[in-house]
Amino acid sequence: MMNVKQASTIDLLTAARKIADYSSREFGENLALSNRRAAFNHMGAVLADSVLQAGLNYATVVRPRVEYIIEQFPTTNTVSNLLTLINEGQTASILQWKHHLKIMRFELLVNFLYEENVEATDDLRIRLTDENFKSGLLSINGIGPKTVDYMACLVGIESIAVDRHVRAYAKKVGIVNDDYYFLQRAFSYAADLMNTSRREFDSWLWQVSSLKLKPQLELSI
């Protein structure tokens, strides 16, 4: 399968045009979202959302836990405060989660950010533009490119996180290349072609696919 390094600029732009044309044709005015996607300014919420979202229902499992963290652990808006609670053995209580894999991943992520002097969401937003920093994130067990791009969306960076919903949408449009980075760029360029925010297009794609909304149905975030 041709990956993004082998794909030409023409391949990427052709795929982006397919995505943009299909989205505009099938969903029309619903691409102009009236409610804009908010960005988190709470590190505990960002990191919990990023770690928990993979493989779980967002509305019923992830979102309630993120809201719980913001309400019940307001001081975890910084990495140092998060690390204090982790060292006290409170990770499971913060996440309301028992399975060791996501707990371990969360703790590894917090420790990595602490070592990188990333304290608040403003710091994370800046560092996520650094390829070396992103490479470090990707070295954490269980953290892949989708998680990194999703985290970027959460802190307000224009990005597309290629999950199973985006992949299913790509197949529906007729995109053959399934390389992560090819799809990430193709959908990003498609958003640009439609004069739409990349992170809002990312959220819109999730709504269309995961909520199985039909064309011409009014969307909201």
CA distances from 144 to 28, 101, 147, 162, 192 (A): 33, 15, 5, 11, 24
CATH value of 43-154 in 1.10.3210, 3.90.1690, 2.50.20, 1.10.340: 1.10.340
User: What pLDDT, on a 0 to 100 scale, did the predictor assign at position 59?
Assistant: 85
Position 218 pLDDT exceeds 70: no
Query: For residue range 101-112, what is the model confidence (pLDDT) as tens digits?
Result: 999 999 999 999
pLDDT, tens only, 37-96: 667 899 999 999 999 998 888 889 999 999 999 999 999 999 999 999 999 999 999 999
CA distance 198 to 140: 26
Q: Which pLDDT band holds residue 220 (cuts at 50, 70, 90)?
A: very low
Domain boundaries of the chain, sorted by first residue? 9-36+160-210, 43-154
Task: Classify 173 as helix, strand or coil.
Answer: helix
Task: Write the CA distances from 173 to 79, 164, 211, integer angstroms.
Answer: 41, 14, 18
Report which of residues 35 and 205 the model is more confident about: 205
Instruction: Return the structure tokens found at 18.
Output: 């397919």
If you average pLDDT over residues 198-213, what whole number do you get? 79
Question: What integer pLDDT is reported at residue 8 of this predicted model?
Answer: 85
Residue 30 clears pLDDT 70, i.e. is over it: no
What totals of helices (H) and strands (E) does the chain contain, helices first?
A: 12, 0
Closest CA to 166 of 217, 197, 203, 213: 203
**Tokens 């719980």 sit on residue:** 68
**Longest alpha-carbon distance in the chain:** 54
Most confident of 3-12, 114-123, 212-221: 114-123
Please tell me the least confidently modeled range out of 95-99, 173-177, 204-208.
Answer: 204-208
Query: Tell me: the pLDDT tens digits for 87-129?
Result: 999 999 999 999 999 999 999 999 999 999 999 999 999 999 9
Cβ-count burial of 37 within 10 angstroms (0-12 exposed, 13-18 middle, 19+ buried)? middle
Q: Which helix (H) or strand (E) holds 153?
A: helix 145-154
Question: How crowded is the C-beta side of 152, counted as CA atoms within 13 Å?
Answer: 25
The pLDDT assigned to 37 comes to 65
The per-residue pLDDT for range 146-167, each reduced to its tens digit, is 999 999 999 999 999 999 999 9
